[in-house]
Chains A and B, each alone.
Chain A
Amino acid sequence: MNELELQALLPFMVLAASSLVVILLIAFRLSHTVIQISGFMMMCLTVICMWLVRDTLPREIPPLLVIDGFAAFTTGLIVFVVLAVGLFSYIYFEEREENPKEYYILLFLATLGAAVLTVSKHFISLFIGLEILSISLYGLIGYLRNRNNAVEAGLKYLMLAALTSAFLLFGMALVYLETGSMDFAVIGRHVQSSGFSVLMILGIGILLVAVGFKLAFVPFHLWAADVYQGAPPPVTAFIATASKIGVFSVLLRFGQSLGLQNEQLLQGIFSFIAIASMIVGNLLALRQQNIKRLLAYSSIAHFGYLLVAFLPGNDNGETAALFYLLSYSVTLLCAFGIITIMSGTKQDAESVSFYQGLFWKQPILAVVLSVAMLSLAGIPLTAGFPAKFMVLASGVEDSRWIPVLVLVATSVIGLYYYLRVIGILFEKPEEETAATKVLHPFFYYATYTSLTVLMLAICWLGLFPGNVIDGIRQLLQLE
């Protein structure tokens, strides 16, 4: 391993170090605020490192990792998500007066896992990243063990994740058995030379079960709503964004190296999964009264949309997918930010009716949430629109009419429940409930500011996606 490779790995090392830092800080019995701030600093440091080492990219670190523009983008996105999640976590836990310190260890570990996924080009690193992510998530989900059925959610996630991990491993083993290598590129070459054998396809199919589970594709989606509901909102935000970004990016990389989309059968499976996810996700959300479950179902649908961009397996599709991930993450952070900030000391702000008339009480929050919902629905002026537009464009370009038409139809169904939520925000408020908050004003304002910034980011992405698209294309070295 030479110096340049080490340099390229620097951000990931910082990321790994951040959990150690937190452990140390806990050992020194420092306060939540200090931990929070230092965690924030560590994440910023990661970003700075990424900036510093940008010239060394792209760089392979054989045999496990490759750090390229794609990885830089997704890792950056994950770190960005974690920055926001950290902020929400502070408010959430400060309000609950729980002991939140170890939480940050898990959070940063999970981040590391997701980040490793984005750079892995080998089954081993894939597996390691995925397990770091998963095992941290079990802890995160069940962290508030006495509330909200968190333990139940944690156990459900654990059991299913372990189960699907077994599928993942078995699939990997089959592929390894066929090709004699666990490196994506080598497998890809093998496929090019001798095509997909039955065992190979079987292996990939089984492997997909695990991926499908993590991304909550239909029919592996059943856990999503329960876990989203049971986990603390910041963790839910993390699961919905960072964890899925990591897994989706490895899927993209894997698909890209093997040319999965060229295989008729796999293509059919992907199309089917995409269609089923879009339909089932949106239909499930239709009458949902719990906003966390609603977002869970909506995320099922959204990853169905993403698969439409994945299907063509070309550069435009990839660009579209990355842009979609970006806009989706920003949007979901907004939504979960609101849920976090609205959650009281006793109960999470889960029920949709809780938000009734929010606009007339706290207009800023309501506007942020409305913008987020509109963005999820893919309405212009928000990030969701160019994202959906690009996904559609890549689908249309590849003449994948059935998924595209399903996308359109289900978007309309989806619009219904987003509008329902927005509508409730603008209803006449019920009588004033005295919501007293004793938070450090700085964090209070910081959250408001960050939510506003996120909202502006949504609008900016919606209005001027050009720069970001160009940026993504540069990172992918398409130009």
Chain B
Amino acid sequence: MMSIQVSAVLIVAAILFVLGFIGVLTRKNILFMLISVEIMLNAAGLAFVAASAKWQQADGQVMFLFILAMAAAEVSVGLALVLQIYHQYKTLDIEKLNALKDE
């Protein structure tokens, strides 16, 4: 097996993370924003895996499992809210959701 530099993985993770972030910033559709956040979470997971590979420990992988579980939970709640939003606003454009603000 080819050994991969930890730093290289880290850079990939960072790129993924930034890409996800850019997604959150640029997307107006709530679903795509959620997906972008998922990408960011997975980028973090990747970093954990890289770190645990560096230290030859299982902790990082364990953490990755937690991240997956958490992401799933989050998305499920998120999708429930999305449903409600679509129900109420008939749109998934995040820009339309601005009833709460300073006058």
Contacts and interface: CB of A to CB of B under 8 A. Distances in A.
Interface of A: 123-124, 127-128, 131, 134-135, 138-139, 142, 145-146, 149, 151-156, 158-159, 162-163, 165-166, 169-170, 172-174, 176-177, 180-182, 225-227, 229-230, 284, 288-289, 293
Contacts of A154: 81
A151 B84 contact: yes
Interface of B: 6, 10, 13, 17, 20-21, 24, 30, 33-34, 37, 40-41, 43-45, 47-48, 50-52, 54-55, 57, 59-60, 62-63, 66-67, 70, 73-74, 77-78, 81-82, 84-85, 88, 97-103
B102 to A, nearest CB: 7
A149 B100 contact: yes
19 contacts: A135-B73, A152-B100, A155-B81, A155-B82, A155-B85, A158-B74, A158-B77, A159-B37, A159-B78, A165-B74, A166-B20, A166-B37, A166-B40, A169-B48, A173-B44, A173-B50, A173-B60, A182-B63, A226-B100
B81 A170 contact: no
Given A163-B21, A163-B40, 12 more contacts: A159-B33, A162-B74, A163-B24, A169-B41, A169-B44, A173-B13, A173-B47, A173-B48, A173-B51, A173-B63, A177-B6, A226-B100
Given A159-B33, A182-B63, A170 B70 contact: no
Contacts of B33: 159
Contacts of A149: 99-100
A142 B60 CA distance: 33
Contacts of A163: 21, 24, 37, 40
B81 A138 contact: yes
A153 B99 CA distance: 9
A151 B100 contact: no
A159 B97 CA distance: 13
B87 to A, nearest CB: 9
Contact of B47 (A124, A177, A181): A177
A146 B85 CA distance: 10
A347 to B, nearest CB: 14
Contacts of A128: 66
A327 B77 CA distance: 33
Contact of A288 (B13, B81, B102): B102
B99 to A, nearest CB: 5
A128 B63 CA distance: 10
A81 to B, nearest CB: 23
A284 B101 CA distance: 12
Contacts of B101: 226
A154 B100 CA distance: 11
Contact of A159 (B34, B44, B62): B34
